[in-house]
Amino acid sequence: MQPSSINLRLWLTYSLIILLVLFFALAGIVFAFQSSPLLYRQVFLRMDLVSHLLTNRLSFVIAADWDPTIDLFFKEAELLDVEVAIIDNKGASVFLSDGYLESELPPMTTLAQDAENSQEHILTFRDEEKIIWFYKISKINDNYYLLVAAERPNVAIGSLFQDELVKPMLKTGLFALIGAFVVSWLMAEWITRPLKRLSQSANNIAEGKYEPIPIEGPREVQQLARSMNDMSGKVENSLKSQRDFVANVSHEFKTPLTSIQGFSQAIFDETVHKPADIKHAAEVILKETDRLNILVNDLLTLAKLDAGTMAMNKEKIEINHLIKSLIEDFRFEIEKSGVRIKGVYTKPLYLFADSTRLSQVFLNLIDNAIKFSKSGSQILITISREGNYACVGVKDQGAGISEEELERIFERFYQVDKARKGGSDHGVGLGLAIARQIVVAHGGEISATSQLGEGSTFMVKLPIEDATQNQ
């Protein structure tokens, strides 16, 4: 089972750390004690004493040829519970206080060598019965060595530790665990308080209260609060634009529907009965139905572009050619509006694109340019290459758009000045939104620059099909 709260997790973590530390501390102390000379100080002292006394005396005794009184010296060693041996420099034992020593000790020559080489004061060896011996070799003269040995006493480390260490450590451990519980509770509170606040704010957002979350607490929580503020801002904006969208759609439907309803009611009630009036009413109904049709088609196009389900018939097209034929198609409308249109072309640039959809984009831009231009002014269409992009600019000398409004003209249903609609055949503010979605679906981008009273320039950048072939 997973520990469910931060509090419990912290407590378990602390407890584990405390237990591990106690375990390692105990193991370290046992290990250090086991090999510590402190435990065997008594034995070493006795060995040192015997070794010191005998080495001095033996040098005289051996010099004066072997003397049986030597046994007296060894009695002293026996009293101190230390075994003694005299070894000649060929490794043969001359005297042994205990015959057992010779069979169990390493060869005497090795011992003598040990004594020469080793820096250690007291050495150890383990005999066949696994008993550990301490021994010390000292030189009597050039021909003889004295070996002093004593069994390592058995110190009951287990019970020593149980009495002296384990109990106090368990007590300390218990206190530490209680401390860990308190500290983990405080820590958990400290950590979870800002998280609880975040969770409360998330609940508020879910209930539709978009209050900004205060940026406080640990850095990670501050980061989370910032991200949540960002997110709630986006959700709020998206909900607002959704509401605006529905309101706009309803509004745009309402006007033509009211006209259609009014005129058809008038025909039905025979309020209009003259053939000319009936014809006029029918004309209005037709026009408004057309308008509704266009609106519904635009909305469907946008919905498909949003969902990414718009079928794109992409093929290799040449952009200069596409623009030239669009201008040709617009010739009549252009002449009617009294503006001049000029195209500045470049060498062939091929795109992989849906020509119908791209035509819709450029038609919208040219249509807007005509709508917002005064008679006699010029519309300049330029095609150029920028890196791996083909750039098409549509520049007019019309009314222009202010800086604040420029940021919004690609929004759905946004119209700079609803009253200033260009001509009777005005749109509903979806043209640029659709244009942007189409351009984005082609991997390109659309932007606008403008100067109030001087005109606007719309720039469409589209990726060139195979950049290397188009060099």
**Which residue lies nearer to ligand ADP by CB, 136 or 291?**
291
176: contact with ligand ADP by CB under 6 A: no
431: contact with ligand ADP by CB under 6 A: yes
- The continuous run of DSSP H or E covering 390 comes out as strand 389-395
- With contact defined as beta carbons under 8 Å apart, do 59 and 140 qualify? yes
401: contact with ligand ADP by CB under 6 A: yes
372: contact with ligand ADP by CB under 6 A: yes
Closest contact distance (angstroms) between CB of 341 and ligand ADP is 13
Piece of the chain touching ligand ADP by CB under 6 A; list 68-76, 219-227, 245-253, 430-438: 430-438
**In 10 A of CB 3, how many CB atoms?**
12
Question: Which tokens go with 18?
Answer: 């405390």
Phi/psi of residue 314, each to 5°? -80, 140
**Which residue lies nearer to ligand ADP by CB, 137 or 428?**
428
337: contact with ligand ADP by CB under 6 A: no
416: contact with ligand ADP by CB under 6 A: yes
432: contact with ligand ADP by CB under 6 A: yes
Binding-site size for ligand ADP (CB under 6 A) equals 21
Q: Which residues make beta-bridge pairs with 446? A: 460
**Which residue lies nearer to ligand ADP by CB, 382 or 470?**
382
Closest contact distance (angstroms) between CB of 359 and ligand ADP is 15
Which of 364, 383, 436, 446 is close enough to bind ligand ADP by CB under 6 A? 364
Q: Tokens 């991997």 map to which residue?
A: 443
Q: How far is the C-alpha of 59 from the C-alpha of 145, rounded, in Å?
A: 10
427: contact with ligand ADP by CB under 6 A: yes
Task: Identify which of 260, 259, 300, 252 has the alpha carbon closest to the alpha carbon of residue 427.
Answer: 252
Kindly tell me the burial class for residue 9, based on how many C-beta atoms sit within 10 Å of its own C-beta (0-12, 13-18, 19 or more).
middle
Closest contact distance (angstroms) between CB of 299 and ligand ADP is 13
Sequence letter at residue 420? R
Closest contact distance (angstroms) between CB of 448 and ligand ADP is 8
368: contact with ligand ADP by CB under 6 A: yes
- With contact defined as beta carbons under 8 Å apart, do 431 and 412 qualify? no
**HSE toward the beta carbon, residue 380, CA cutoff 13 A:** 8
Q: Specify the 3-state DSSP secondary structure of 421.
A: coil
Q: Tell me how many degrees the CA angle 408-414-420 measures, rounded to the nearest 5.
A: 110
Piece of the chain touching ligand ADP by CB under 6 A; list 118-126, 237-245, 414-422, 436-444: 414-422
Closest contact distance (angstroms) between CB of 456 and ligand ADP is 4
**Which residue lies nearer to ligand ADP by CB, 266 or 363?**
363
Which of 396, 444, 460, 462 is close enough to bind ligand ADP by CB under 6 A? 396
Piece of the chain touching ligand ADP by CB under 6 A; list 56-64, 74-82, 300-308, 391-399: 391-399
428: contact with ligand ADP by CB under 6 A: yes
Which of 173, 194, 256, 398 is close enough to bind ligand ADP by CB under 6 A? 398
| Chain position whose Cβ is nearest to ligand ADP | 427
Q: Tokens 């006007």 map to which residue?
A: 255
Which of 369, 381, 462, 464 is close enough to bind ligand ADP by CB under 6 A? 369
Q: For the residues of 115-170, what is the DSSP string, one character each?
A: HHH---SSEEEE-TT--EEEEEEEESSSSEEEEEEEEPP---HHHHHIIIIIHHHH
Which of 456, 459, 460, 462 is close enough to bind ligand ADP by CB under 6 A? 456
Closest contact distance (angstroms) between CB of 398 and ligand ADP is 5
**Which residue lies nearer to ligand ADP by CB, 185 or 245?**
245
**In 10 A of CB 308, how many CB atoms?**
9
Q: How far is the C-alpha of 359 from the C-alpha of 322, rounded, in Å?
A: 8
Q: How far is the C-alpha of 398 from the C-alpha of 455, rounded, in Å?
A: 4
Distances in whole angstroms, Cα of residue 361 to Cα of each of 224, 257, 268, 324, 326: 41, 28, 41, 14, 11
> Which residues bind to ligand ADP, rule: CB under 6 A?
364, 368-369, 372, 396, 398-399, 401, 409, 414-416, 426-433, 456
